[in-house]
């Protein structure tokens, strides 16, 4: 029965049951952390071989370059060739960087502030610079822009990507809008896969600001939870078809493929953008860690299909965890009609919505020993206008911990809903 | 006999001899590259053990942190403890970063442009921002500031550091001067060791701009060419003594200790600066490569004296090369009185000066198959006002190649001098 159909007596009965459950959770002294989208130790074990796959004499690139020394600003040629398929691109479209794609995004946006894009005026020289933020979205994206002094403008996410009517209307009329943040596949946190229609509308955008850039963070492009993942059109290729290829910067990394913090980041862009970015890169570093690029190549034996097979092992470890979350949500909340949640085909998050209750649920969970990502984290400045969204990160805890945590979570969700109506 | 004392006949005779030599060099079809301050392959071999010093199960920090996963923004505690002595500081003064100290310097200066220092107005919001550049100096330092839109102001280097009378006069009267670049030990290229007197004057600087920062690149702090290296006062400690500790950012790296591009960078600053920098760091990365920090700790067995011993092995390989350069310069040019050069006690360069001849010498060398760093490279915008300075990098070539290259070099120097007088 839906909560809204219950009479006072039924509501009170449910509340009593939930409160008893909740007190039992509190008494159990739980300490569970679901706040971060981190791989579990078992997932990391999949990559342990990377620690030992370089011998003491294995440091020479295919072109003879000594990877122990200076040189090779934009990544080993064989690393470009190896990783380009991750983004569905050619080696010449890609540069292979250091250990953090977030760092590349920060660098690229900071660079636009200090030096503009291509030959534009530096963004920092304008009185006002805005960035579009599809919400709910990734807090660290929004934080980068906010830190750099940009104004954040919310755009609602829909089932097939950001509201493109709104995006087109805004960027075509307001030249203070210089960028948009996108996670096109398995968006953080909603798990949305942008449709080809959305992708093509992005590729064909005609912004009023010529120095507008799409920051396209394809963080989860190979992070599937099914054996038959969706196939997505390629933004850079689509943009090339309509002569608009300078509009986007693409990013990805191996942080959740090999080791977070010890992985390899990728950036891709048009030929003109890449030429300009490489020139700028030469001022900001002498080069990235080529031995770590080599380590990745050796670990996967230089074969992209080995990376794909490796991602299936990740899937085998984390898909059951997503199942636990969704099954528990369905079992405990399905009939009540108080909430909805995503059932993503990939990525690292489940997005949960219960209007007016997000903060309260996070608080109740915390008081019962389950730490969640803060309510509002998926919105610019941490402000969720409907106080409804919670990002659930199922990957790090064990299945047992996760099951327990989801029981606390659903109990808290029911209590929060009851507090609203009683 | 000095060149200026020679009569026409002696000059012509010398020219004939040099031209014959030069033609023989050209005929030999040499291909020698002395353009870069790179370690030689033999030096890199000293560190090969770092490729294999982490076992597949060795990824846990002393505090239990799994170094394979996210977390630990500012470096492993044991890495801070291990590397702090390099800068003569305490672990809490230091953060341990990624593979490039140049990248940290770019980041810190770019950050000052976009966000200021501590709570100051962003440098980029001023119409004009200047940086002091001790010359000759490191081209990449100057290039960072130029790229970020700063105006470069030359300050002459003296035997004990930059001309401090000029530095004090400029920074105390001109609040558009926001920074100065320094390489305090074995400066690039002059090999100058800043005196304690100079250090103390830096520590006590009273800039008109409260947001002025000394960018103190201690790139060669443990890169000695003697067994009894000079001992230098510590800028941050000296600045603390006079309550001026927020004035400086310190940098160093293991690029020329372990592997360039696969090393570890360090940054040090006052408590207030570090708190502000760490906050900013949280927007620009999720963290650095902790496994590579662990790799460094394991390779040196966590003992700083092993790093010191390792640097003696570098010294044993490169000191003879510096000897070859200096002996050849002395033998071939010593009596002629046309040039002078540094005899550094450490670092990677010998600075050579021959007024009005630098470009011509580089050209002559190139045409005889010896590539040098471009003349003027050690000056802002590549403009050496006296066309006199050439940076000689002895480390990369073999001793045999270096001997040959220096013969070409000294022959070219003589020819250039003769062209001036004949």
Both tokens assigned to A261: 């913090």
Question: For residue B116, which residues of chain A lie inside 8 Å, CB to CB?
Answer: none
Question: What distance in Å separates residue A18's CA from the closest CA in chain B?
Answer: 35
**Is the CB of B298 inside 8 Å of chain A's CB atoms?**
no
Q: Pairing relation of β-strands A213-217 and A248-253?
A: parallel
Question: For residue B59, which residues of chain A lie inside 8 Å, CB to CB?
Answer: 44, 48, 51
Residue A162 has a pLDDT of 98
Residue B249: enclosing H or E segment and its boundaries? strand B248-253
User: Would you call B149 and A44 a contact, using CB atoms and an 8 Å cutoff?
Assistant: no
The Cα angle at residue A135 between residues A131 and A138, in degrees rounded to 5: 80
**Is the CB of B304 inside 8 Å of chain A's CB atoms?**
no
Nearest-by-CA chain B residue for A287: B261
**CB contact burial A28-63 (16+ within 10 A = b; e otherwise):** eebebebbebbbbeebbbbbbebbbbbeeeebebee
Closest CA to B76 of B300, B289, B308: B289
Complex confidence, ipTM:
0.96
Question: What distance in Å separates residue A380's CA from the closest CA in chain B?
Answer: 14
Q: Pairing relation of β-strands B161-162 and B151-158?
A: antiparallel
Q: Which of A149, A261, A280, A373 to mutate to test the interface with B (most CBs of B within 10 A)?
A: A261
> A45 — phi, psi (to 5°)?
-55, -30
Indicate the residue of A39, A261, A292 with minimum beta-carbon distance to B287.
A261
Question: What distance in Å separates residue A202's CA from the closest CA in chain B?
Answer: 26
Cβ neighbors of A317 (< 8 A, separation 6 or more) are A40, A42, A43, A46
Both tokens assigned to A92: 């010449």
Task: Report whether B418 contacts B14 (CB < 8 A).
Answer: yes
- Reply yes or no: is the peptide bond before residue A189 cis, omega within 30 of 0: yes
Indicate the residue of A68, A69, A99 with minimum beta-carbon distance to B289.
A99
**Is the CB of B122 inside 8 Å of chain A's CB atoms?**
yes
Residue B29 has a pLDDT of 92
| Side-chain half-sphere CA neighbours of B273 within 13 A | 26
Task: Please report where in the chains the tokens 């200090």 appear, as a residue.
Answer: A114
Can you tell me the distance from the alpha carbon of A19 to that of A26, in angstroms, rounded to the nearest whole number? 10
Q: How confident is the model at residue B119 (pLDDT cuts 50, 70, 90)?
A: confident
Question: For residue A288, which residues of chain B lie inside 8 Å, CB to CB?
Answer: 99, 261
SS3 assignment, position B125: helix
Q: What are the DSSP E strand ranges found in B326-375?
A: 340-341, 350-353, 370-372
Q: What are A331-389's pLDDT values in tens digits?
A: 999 999 999 999 999 999 999 999 999 999 999 999 999 999 999 999 999 999 999 99
Closest CA to B204 of B234, B235, B242, B255: B242
Indicate the residue of A41, A54, A260 with minimum beta-carbon distance to B51.
A54
Both tokens assigned to B317: 């390989």
Can you tell me the distance from the alpha carbon of A106 to that of A93, in angstroms, rounded to the nearest whole number? 20
User: Would you call B52 and A57 a contact, using CB atoms and an 8 Å cutoff?
Assistant: no
Task: Report whether B24 contacts B407 (CB < 8 A).
Answer: no
Task: Please report where in the chains the tokens 């505090």 appear, as a residue.
Answer: B63
Both tokens assigned to B329: 């310069």
Can you tell me the distance from the alpha carbon of B83 to that of B307, in angstroms, rounded to the nearest whole number? 9
On the 0-12 / 13-18 / 19+ scale of CB atoms within 10 A, A232 is: middle
Percent pLDDT > 70 in chain B is 100
| Assessment of whether the complete model's pTM goes beyond 0.90 | yes
SS3 assignment, position A206: coil
**Which residues between 60 and 89 in chain B have a beta carbon less than 8 angstroms from any beta carbon of chain A?**
66-71
Q: What is the pLDDT along chain A (422 residues), one digit of tens a residue?
A: 999 999 999 999 999 999 999 999 999 999 998 888 999 999 999 999 999 999 999 999 999 999 999 999 999 999 999 999 999 999 999 999 999 999 999 999 999 999 999 989 999 999 999 999 999 999 999 999 999 999 999 999 999 999 999 999 999 999 999 999 999 999 999 999 999 999 999 999 999 999 999 999 999 999 999 999 999 999 999 999 999 999 999 999 999 999 999 999 999 999 999 999 999 999 999 999 999 999 999 999 999 999 999 999 999 999 999 999 999 999 999 999 999 999 999 999 999 999 999 999 999 999 999 999 999 999 999 999 999 999 999 999 999 999 999 999 999 999 999 999 98
Question: Between the CA atoms of B52, B53, B55 and B57, what dihedral angle is there, to the nearest 10 degrees?
Answer: -140
User: Would you call A261 and B102 a contact, using CB atoms and an 8 Å cutoff?
Assistant: no
Q: What are B308-322's pLDDT values in tens digits?
A: 999 999 999 999 999
DSSP annotation string for B55-91: -TT--B-TTS-BTTSS--TT--HHHHHHHGGGGT--G
Question: For residue A142, which residues of chain B lie inside 8 Å, CB to CB?
Answer: none
Q: Which of B261, B277, B279, B348 to mutate to test the interface with A (most CBs of A within 10 A)?
A: B261
**Is the CB of B283 inside 8 Å of chain A's CB atoms?**
yes
**Is the CB of B116 inside 8 Å of chain A's CB atoms?**
no
Can you tell me the distance from the alpha carbon of B168 to that of A407, in angstroms, rounded to the nearest whole number? 67
């Amino acid at each position: 029965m839906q909560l809204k159909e219950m009479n006072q007596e039924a509501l009170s009965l449910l509340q009593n049951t939930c409160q008893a459950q909740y007190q039992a959770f509190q008494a159990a002294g739980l300490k569970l952390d679901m706040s971060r989208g981190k791989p579990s130790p078992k997932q990391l074990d999949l990559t342990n071989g990377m620690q030992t796959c370089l011998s003491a004499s294995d440091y020479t690139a295919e072109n003879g370059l000594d990877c122990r020394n200076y040189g090779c600003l934009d990544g080993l040629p064989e690393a470009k060739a190896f990783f380009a398929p991750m983004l569905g691109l050619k080696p010449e479209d890609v540069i292979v960087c250091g250990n953090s794609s977030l760092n590349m995004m920060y660098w690229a946006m900071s660079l636009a502030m200090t030096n503009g894009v291509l030959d534009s005026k530096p963004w920092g020289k304008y009185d006002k610079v805005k960035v579009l933020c599809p919400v709910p979205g990734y807090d660290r994206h929004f934080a980068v822009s906010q830190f750099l002094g940009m104004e954040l403008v919310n755009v609602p996410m829909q089932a097939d990507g950001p509201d493109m009517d709104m995006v087109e209307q805004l960027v075509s009329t307001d030249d203070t809008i210089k960028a948009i943040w996108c996670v096109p596949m398995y968006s953080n946190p909603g798990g949305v896969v942008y449709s080809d229609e959305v992708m093509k509308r992005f590729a064909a955008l005609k912004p009023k600001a010529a120095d507008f850039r799409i920051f396209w963070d394809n963080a989860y492009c190979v992070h599937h939870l099914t054996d038959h993942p969706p196939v997505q059109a390629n933004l850079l290729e689509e943009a090339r078809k309509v002569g608009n290829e300078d509009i986007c910067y693409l990013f990805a990394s191996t942080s959740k493929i090999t080791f977070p913090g010890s992985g390899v980041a990728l950036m891709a862009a048009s030929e003109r953008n890449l030429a300009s970015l490489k020139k700028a890169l030469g001022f900001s570093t002498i080069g990235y860690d080529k031995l770590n690029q080599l380590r990745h190549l050796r670990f996967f034996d230089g074969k992209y299909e080995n990376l794909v097979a490796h991602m299936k092992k990740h899937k085998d470890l984390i898909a059951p965890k997503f199942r636990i979350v969704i099954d528990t949500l369905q079992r405990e909340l399905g009939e009540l009609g108080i909430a909805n949640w995503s059932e993503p085909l990939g990525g690292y998050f489940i997005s949960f919505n219960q209007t007016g209750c997000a903060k309260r649920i996070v608080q109740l969970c915390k008081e019962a020993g389950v730490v969640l990502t803060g309510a509002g984290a998926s919105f610019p400045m941490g402000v969720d206008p409907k106080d409804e969204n919670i990002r659930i990160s199922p990957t790090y805890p064990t299945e047992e911990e996760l099951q327990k945590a989801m029981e606390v979570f659903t109990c808290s969700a029911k209590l929060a809903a009851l507090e609203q109506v009683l």
